[in-house]
């Protein structure tokens, strides 16, 4: 079950999912009908040795089906890897077992993000998903995320934004995304990185650019 999309990228991923699923359903129904017909068909053709026409048909049809799946898939791969003129660059570093963030375009904005302990949760917090310091970004703005790790391989993942990228020690990976609305978007480390792998959540808070500027001004003064 896919989460509701909160970015143009996730919308395209959801469309591709529906497109591929529709093709699979059509294939399943047709093959099922053919198999049912064969099981209950009592007619035989004693002189049938080969059928050039039917062999051409069942070679061409799968080829066309794969083309209809491959073209939008390749298009999505290029969209996922494209990073064009980002407005903000954020660097995230995976640790055992928390995330740290740096706003590279601004001075002195660095913080660690730990999961909130159960005893400190409020009624509006989600257990095992909320953090003490959220990532603050403006909506409808292109964000470039630089991802690496300090110890073992982690994976920075936000399902509702269609973002999943490995955090590898000694390597800097990047991904670009944007949100089309304000809200809170939750994610978790998707790479088994040790004993507390499931206790390093990710929370993005998308706000209006006006309030983001105020937040940046406040953080630079600290």
The CATH number of residue 123's host domain is 2.60.40.420
Handedness of CA 125, 130, 134, 140 (dihedral sign): negative
User: In angstroms, rounded to a whole number, what is the distance separating the alpha carbons of residues 39 and 161?
Assistant: 47
Note whether 105 and 193 are same-domain residues: yes
Q: What domain range includes position 52?
A: 8-81
Q: At 157, is the pLDDT very low, low, confident or very high (cuts 50, 70, 90)?
A: very high
Note whether 56 and 12 are same-domain residues: yes
Domain-embedded: residue 3? no
Q: For 222, which DSSP code? A: -
Across 149-161, average pLDDT: 92
Note whether 120 and 216 are same-domain residues: yes
Q: Strand pairing of 88-95 and 98-103? A: antiparallel
Across 109-120, average pLDDT: 89
Note whether 122 and 183 are same-domain residues: yes
Domain-embedded: residue 2? no
Q: For 119, which DSSP code? A: G
Q: Count of domains in the chain?
A: 2
User: In angstroms, rounded to a whole number, what is the distance separating the alpha carbons of residues 107 and 174?
Assistant: 21
Note whether 60 and 152 are same-domain residues: no
What percent of the chain lies above the pLDDT cut of 70?
A: 100
What percent of the chain lies above the pLDDT cut of 90?
A: 44
What is the model's pLDDT at position 222?
65
- Per residue in 57-77, pLDDT (tens digit) is 889 999 999 999 999 898 888
């Amino acid at each position: 079950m896919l989460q509701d999309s909160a970015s143009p990228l996730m919308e395209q991923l959801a469309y591709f999912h529906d497109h591929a699923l529709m093709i699979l359903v059509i294939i399943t129904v047709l093959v099922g009908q053919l198999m049912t017909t064969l099981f209950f068909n009592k007619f035989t053709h004693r002189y049938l040795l080969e059928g050039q026409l039917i062999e051409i048909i069942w070679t061409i049809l799968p080829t066309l089906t794969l083309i209809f799946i491959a073209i939008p898939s390749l298009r999505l791969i290029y969209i996922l890897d494209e990073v064009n003129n980002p407005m903000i660059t954020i660097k995230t570093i995976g640790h055992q077992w928390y995330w740290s963030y740096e706003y590279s375009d601004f001075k002195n904005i660095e913080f660690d993000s730990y999961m909130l302990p159960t005893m400190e949760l409020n009624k509006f917090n989600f257990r095992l998903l909320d953090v003490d310091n959220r990532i603050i970004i403006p909506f409808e703005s292109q964000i470039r995320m630089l991802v690496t790790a300090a110890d073992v391989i982690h994976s920075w993942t936000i399902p509702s934004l269609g973002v999943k990228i490995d955090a590898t020690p000694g390597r800097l990976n990047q991904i670009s995304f944007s949100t089309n609305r304000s809200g809170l978007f939750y994610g978790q480390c998707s790479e088994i990185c040790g004993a507390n792998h499931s206790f390093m959540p990710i929370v993005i808070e998308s706000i209006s650019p006006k309030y983001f500027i105020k937040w940046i001004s406040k953080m630079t003064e600290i």
